[in-house]
Amino acid sequence: WSVPMAVSPRQNPGPLLHDDGSASLFYRADGMDLPSPTCSDEGISFVRCPSEDGPCDAPNDDPIFGHTGEDPSVFVDHRGNYHMLFNALPYKCVPKFRQGGHSWSIDGVTWSEPRVGAFDTTVRFADGSSVECERRERPQMVTDRDGRPAAMVSGVTGCPNALGDASLDGDGRFYKGADDCFTLVQKMNS
């Protein structure tokens, strides 16, 4: 392991590593002047990081689009297009049921205005059943070797107790109710 180093003082970073050893670090910045209507002053910005062994450029906290957001995660698809998934309804924004944001870019610098509702808080199971949860955050896309989306990973909380086995106590119960959270891996449709 190398000695830890702060690469950026910002919150909820989502790095995108480039083939040349550089990175783009997308992050949440507070206090942004976003256009109305908005439910939060949290927005997404980014800095360039010239190499893996040095600090990133100084952040300017300019929003990359005019919508509130946090927890950015960027991937490049099989066509070379950039996609960002993020929590489009952070903090005071309610309701949160369709909180998934999706924005896209051809160069990873200039981004579209996001579409809200890219993912929601309904957890769907392989047997066809589902449950409605309160929040779903920190989305990350897992891609196959060609860059095609294979699965989305996210944090989920505020789900009904039905996800746990009520007959088990302590460590035997995998979900303890609305104050608990878990990581969900959801396979994408092919």
Contact 29, 42 (CB under 8 A): yes
Residues 53-111 pLDDT 10s? 778 888 889 999 999 999 999 999 999 999 999 999 988 888 888 899 999 999 999 99
Position 119 confidence tier, pLDDT thresholds 50, 70, 90 = very high
**Mean pLDDT of the region 146-150:** 94
> What token pair was written down for 167?
């007959």
Q: In what order do the strands lie in the sheet with 135-143?
A: 135-143, 149-157, 181-187
Confidence of residue 172 (pLDDT cuts 50, 70, 90): very low
HSE toward the beta carbon, residue 31, CA cutoff 13 A: 4
Nearest to 45 by CA among 74, 19, 20, 17: 74
Bridge partner list, 43: 29
Q: Record the pTM.
A: 0.87
pLDDT reported for residue 168: 53
Q: What is the DSSP letter of 6?
A: -
Residue 35: helix, strand or coil by DSSP? coil
- Residue 98, Cβ neighbours under 10 Å: how many? 16
How many C-beta atoms surround the C-beta of residue 109 within 10 A? 11
pLDDT tens digits, one per residue of 151-168: 999 998 888 765 555 555
Using CA atoms, how far apart are residues 19 and 68, in angstroms rounded to an integer? 30
